[in-house]
Amino acid sequence: MEHVDLRTAELASSAFAASGSETGSLPAGATELAVTADRQERHAAIVEAVLAGNAIAVPFAKFNDGRGFSLARLLRSEHGFRGEIRATGHVIPDQALHLLRSGFDTAEISDADKLPHWQQALSSYNGNYQTAARNPLALRRQAALKQSGENKAAELGKQLAASGDLVERIRIIAKAVPGRLSFSTSLGKEDQAILHAIHEAGIEADIFTLDTHKHFKETLETLKRSEEHYGLTIRVITPNQDDLRELMARDGEEGFRASVAGRKACCMIRKVLPLNRTLRGSAGWLTGLRREQSAERAAVDFASWDGSLNLLKLSPLADWTEEQLEAYVSENNVPVNPLHAEGYVSIGCEPCTRAIAPGEDPRAGRWWWESMDGKECGLHIGGERLLDKVA
């Protein structure tokens, strides 16, 4: 089976292998979602797709079954799904524009010889008379925006690498970002250093923290002390209550311990979804990522383009060592979470964080009942793998 990219009218490259099923309608690795799915099933499918890095396949039993179009619209508008939605089964070229405008990215075709028919159907679009968020003209502009963003990130990264001063780096970022600059703080040591530099630089930034309802009391106390110390307000962002109720109904209070998928689903509801909602409309996102923190973060850039959120992701501490961080915090009297002094290097939710022994991996204290591979909550999984798949 081949599949056509509805945005470019070309055969699409894909990370998903050809189907091993008899009908060939479902690509291996994709999460299939029936047209009869209710809201909870749709939400569960998104969780599964995001955790596995999969597409969502919507099967059409007949070409004139309109329920697939409605389901794609719901995935985009109601659930904010940003990953690939693929039409499988009985779809025809005459449906190409309707598929695209409903939210589909790709459609399966039986062989490449049929591509010209799809190209002809997609070329009939007249952008002067049809407006939609997912029309070919808008999507082509999006591709141009991505290229521009990547170029800007590369240039900004060079500027940040050339400066060794954190306050100066923050000023460089503020000058380069052409819109709202957001800073999501975990109130950990790295983010406290950035908060101090923001204050010293005197720049405007939307500063917020994610309250998962599972924080240590020391973390919440650090929030209050930071606001008092710097004379500013840090916005507190909480999870969607409907999402939380669905999570509790499905997995229970301790579901995050039952499996890696259950834990990542909890992180998604409590952290990833609230973060992505809050970052919408931002032009830049400041983070406290350092290359030294873990193997997964060893290649962190000073600046990168997040195509899922259309913003610059900025990590001014990317090249800092633990010694540099400690010295900066000490020399500038930066308020820090007292748990750091008790062996908590990486501090997250209370049920999922423990102190570590000297010499242990800095991430060993997070979800310690899991293997050491890929210990991330999802906030900083690359845009192509996660943040572009959930809003």
Contact by Cβ (8 Å): 237, 278: yes
The runs of H, that is alpha helices, within the chain are: 39-52, 67-77, 96-102, 115-123, 136-162, 166-176, 189-201, 217-230, 241-251, 260-267, 273-279, 322-331
Selecting among 267, 349, 352, 377, the annotated active-site residue is 377
Catalytic-residue membership of 377: yes
Task: Give the count of alpha carbons within 13 A of 281, CB side only.
Answer: 3
Q: What is the dihedral of CA 225, 226, 230, 232, to 10 degrees?
A: -100
Going by their DSSP bridges, the two strands 2-5 and 10-11 should be labelled as antiparallel
Burial of residue 332, with CB atoms counted within 10 A of its CB: 0-12 exposed, 13-18 middle, 19 or more buried: middle
- Integer Cα distance of 170 and 284 in angstroms: 12
> To which residue do tokens 């630089």 refer?
201
Are 292 and 300 spatial neighbours (Cβ–Cβ below 8 Å)?
A: no
Q: What angle do CA 298, 195, 375 make, to 5 degrees?
A: 30
Catalytic residues: 377
